[in-house]
A and B are shown apart, each in its own frame.
Chain A
Amino acid sequence: MSPKVRQKKVPIAEQKPEERIRNFNEVCLGYTMEEAIEEGMRCLQCKNAPCVAGCPVTIDIPGFIKALREGNIDESWKILSSATNLPAVCGRVCPQETQCEGVCTLGRGKDFEPVAIGKLERFVADWKAGSGVQSAPVVHRGEPKGKVAIVGSGPAGLTAAGDLAKMGYRVKIYEALHEPGGVLMYGIPEFRLPKAIVRREIENIKLLGVEVEVDTAVGRSITVEELRGEYDAIFIGTGAGTPRFIGIPGTTLNGVYSASEFLTRVNLMHAYRFPEYDTPIKKLKNVVVVGGGNVAMDAARSALRLGAEHVTVAYRRTQAEMPARVEEYHHAVEEGIEFCWLTNPVEYVGDERGWVKAVNCIRMELGEPDESGRRRPIPVPGSEFLLEADGAIEAIGQGSNKVLLDAFPELKLNKHGYIVADPETGATSVEGVFAGGDIVTGAATVILAMGAGKNAAKAIDEYISTKRLKAASR
């Protein structure tokens, strides 16, 4: 390893914790051009490039970094965007530490940190957007190869749509909410993923010729039969999308939220700007968030920014098992979020007006590993204790949303209610219907959903091309 390579990542500017806990502006401010190039210099340009294999959408990582550090950012952006339709999103919310950066050769050296691949990706995408140079998108010319309907405009649907459009298909996305983006719009807060950036990347996908129809719930506003009559193939990327509740007494008390409702009010409906925006959110003093994933971190940090004095995350395992990204956890700790490990609520206690006033919790201990490979949390008898709270937010995951699935009874589901789909192609039990993202896997990450959308796009192209060949040879 060259002795000149700096051991640690080039530090990146962030809003100071004491400032950012009172605003919704982005926490991470991003690299400057000089910093990005300096960080890019750390890349060893490995021939075997383990980072590429670690990326669910196989971005040519050494390639885009090479172009970047040579100052050819336009080229760098082209390399990025040939693999991902959402580089500014990926650069911000991918769990790089377990993917590209987790396998980075440099990071394997003693006392060396991996290259800040995510931050560089973000830099290139933002630079491109800020440069004001709108490069002409590669639009397929000639007759479209076929028509594809995409159900849901989250990361899986957007990726499938973008890729299919690039291949020459006419693509239309159907979105139930009033704004496309799925979880990127309603789930991930502004301070982690500014909505302007999501909108910008969606505009880029529209420039490829993709149409987006909002306010359309497939299965209700348009039937599955109508879609099947009009399109050569359908991709379902609706997300998991129905909140799970632990199901303990007091769940219907006022002040008990699902993370989905809390975050939808804050993000999609801009409740943090109430009353400028009409949708309200409760200003809570003491908030208990239940769960240990990114959604729990997002809910906790949003509650803090809305003015809460104490926010406590109650998680039934320990820090070692929590699924949240390390970066998000650290940000939460810096901001003063408290963590109660090995803790699970057993009841919400209400006051005389029917508002939650405390969360009765029980201590847990870790037993034998369960099917997730993590040690199973077991309640410690008699260890109940009260956490004072005027608000509680459950962020314990989602089940499958039934609106579309009910309208599509032929679709085979697994025992958890998710769609059974080929992991390689997204093919479902119904011919011409593909699926990917959380509606197949259960709640996962943005980038895994994008990977699924990408694979499905390839499979849909093959499916339609083969069908056409067969028809032609008849």
Chain B
Amino acid sequence: MHAILEKRLIAPNEYDMWVEAPKVASHARPGQFVVVRPTSKGERIPLTIADYDLKRGSIRFIFQAVGKTTHQMARFEVGDSLSDVLGPLGRPSEIKKWGTVMLVGGGVGIAALFPILRELKRVGNYTITVLGGRSSELVIMKDECRRYSDKLIITTDDGSEGIKGVVTEGMRVASEGRKIDQAWAIGPTIMMKFASLAAKEMGIPIWVSLNPIMVDGTGMCGGCRVEVGGEVRFACVDGPEFDGWAVNWDVLMRRLQQYKEEEKLSLEQYMAEVESVV
């Protein structure tokens, strides 16, 4: 069992949790993820590791309450336990001195971006971070990211903070007058798609962290298959990071829709149950 040590609401519907998971904490590297099963009847869902604390044997992840499982997790309190946490899974990010790196984050993807940014800074890169969201309050972890960024650019759809517009606007500003050697983009699929298209246009190689539907997370089921460079790859073991230029975004977005009706049913039923208790 994995006790919840800290829990905080950091944006509307977005939660920040520290959870006891000593094996994960002592082996985690930036870019990796865990598979969490909150209850004994629950789904196994992948969540990117936002941070890890060796001393306390705990890991941090940030999630948005979207479907039943995440809504259910949002109701967990400090002291409650998650049934299962498996990890760290996936290949770590390629951390080295690239020169100038650009890190583009959106939504809860910023949490996944954070440890990569911190490590890239630690090994001596010049870091430019672009964070985006619909409005200022949805751009999470600004202060933490600022600490490790030589330059921080914020974009909001409604103009409530930073540049009014989407992250690709920020990417263009970031690349003015500076050659960018490598970029990362982590966020909603649609954001990663457009960030990749923009990066390609600008000639910047870009890693994206894909989050397809996944079951076991260890390469066993093949449910998380994605098409990259015309080849079928498994996001859980070959990724989660792939070359953003080469990802077939249409396939990914379509496959993410596979269980839309079931997810809706599951959430509705859960919400009805929760409300009947209250």
Listed A/B pairs (6) with beta-carbon separation below 8 Å: A217-B87, A220-B88, A222-B27, A242-B220, A264-B221, A401-B220
Find out whether the CB atom of A252 lies under 8 angstroms from the CB atom of B232.
yes
B222 adjacent to A245 (CB under 8 Å):
yes
Q: How far is the CB of B25 from chain A (nearest CB, A)?
A: 10
Known A-B contacts A221-B88, A275-B269, A282-B258; the reply to A401 vs B23 at CB < 8 A is no
Give the contacts of B1-51 with A (CB-CB under 8 A).
23-24, 27, 37, 41-44
A255 to B257, alpha carbons, bound, how many Å? 11
> Across the interface, which residues of A come within 8 angstroms of B86, CB to CB?
176-178, 215-217, 221
Query: Top 9 A-B pairs ranked by shortest CB distance?
Result: A280-B262, A261-B221, A243-B222, A258-B222, A354-B254, A261-B223, A178-B84, A278-B43, A215-B86
Q: Which residue of A lies closest to B39 (CB)?
A: A278
- B83 & A178 in contact (Cβ 8 Å cutoff): yes
A282 contacts across to B, CB distance below 8 A: 258-259, 262
- Which residues on A sit within 8 Å (CB–CB) of B42? 278
Stretch binding the partner chain, chosen from B129-137, B139-147, B199-207, B211-219: B211-219
Q: Are B262 and A274 in contact (CB under 8 A)?
A: yes
Asked whether any CB of chain A lies closer than 8 Å to the CB of B227, the reply is yes
- Are B27 and A276 touching (Cβ within 8 A)? no
Q: Which residues of B contact A (CB under 8 A)?
A: 23-24, 27, 37, 41-44, 68-69, 83-89, 215-216, 218-223, 225-227, 232, 234, 237, 248, 251, 254-255, 257-259, 262-263, 265-266, 269
Q: Is the CB of B84 within 8 A of A176?
A: no
A223: which B residues are within 8 A, CB to CB? Answer: 27
Q: A242-B219, A252-B232 are in contact. List 10 more A-B contacts (CB 8 A).
A: A178-B83, A220-B27, A220-B87, A241-B219, A261-B222, A275-B269, A278-B43, A280-B266, A401-B218, A401-B237
**A221 x B215 contact (CB < 8 A):** no
B222 touches A269 (CB 8 A): no
Query: B221's closest neighbor in chain A, by CB?
Result: A261
Contact B254 A217 (CB under 8 A): no
Q: Write the nearest CB–CB distance from B59 to chain A, whole angstroms.
A: 12
What sequence of 0s and 1s flags, for each residue 269-312 of chain A, a beta carbon within 8 Å of any chain B beta carbon?
11000111111101000000000000000000000000000000
Q: Are B254 and A260 in contact (CB under 8 A)?
A: no
Q: Known contacts A177-B216, A278-B42: does B222 contact A221 (CB below 8 Å)? A: no
How many residues of A are counted as interface, with CB atoms below 8 angstroms from the partner's CB atoms?
42
Most interface-central of A247, A252, A260 (chain B CB within 10 A)? A252
Query: Which residues of chain A have C-beta atoms less than 8 A from B255's C-beta?
Result: 252, 254
Task: Enumerate chain A interface residues (CB-CB to B < 8 A).
Answer: 176-178, 186, 214-217, 220-223, 241-243, 245, 247, 251-252, 254-255, 257-258, 260-261, 264-265, 269-270, 274-280, 282, 353-354, 401-403
CB <8 Å contact, B43 and A403: no
Partner of A258, one of B221, B227, B254, B265: B221
Closest to B41 in A: A277
Q: Are B216 and A264 in contact (CB under 8 A)?
A: yes
Determine whether the beta carbon of A217 is less than 8 Å from that of B257. Answer: no
Q: In the complex, what residues of B have CB within 8 A of residue A265's CB?
A: 215
Partner of B218, one of A245, A354, A403: A403
Distance to closest chain A CB from B223 (angstroms): 4
| Minimum Cβ distance to chain B for residue A44 (Å) | 44
A282 CA to B37 CA, complexed, in Å: 20
Are the C-beta atoms of B84 and A402 separated by less than 8 Å?
no
Given A178-B83, A269-B215, A403-B237: A279 in contact with B225 (beta carbons within 8 A): no
Q: Which residue of A lies closest to B231 (CB)?
A: A247
Complex: A221 Cα to B86 Cα, angstroms: 8
Cα separation A177 to B217 with both chains bound (whole Å): 9
Known A-B contacts A260-B222, A279-B43; the reply to A215 vs B215 at CB < 8 A is no
Task: Report the minimal beta-carbon distance from A159 to chain B, rounded to whole angstroms.
Answer: 21
Which residues of B sit under 8 angstroms from A258, Cβ to Cβ?
221-223
Contact B254 A254 (CB under 8 A): yes
A241-B227 CB under 8 A given contacts A178-B83, A178-B86: no
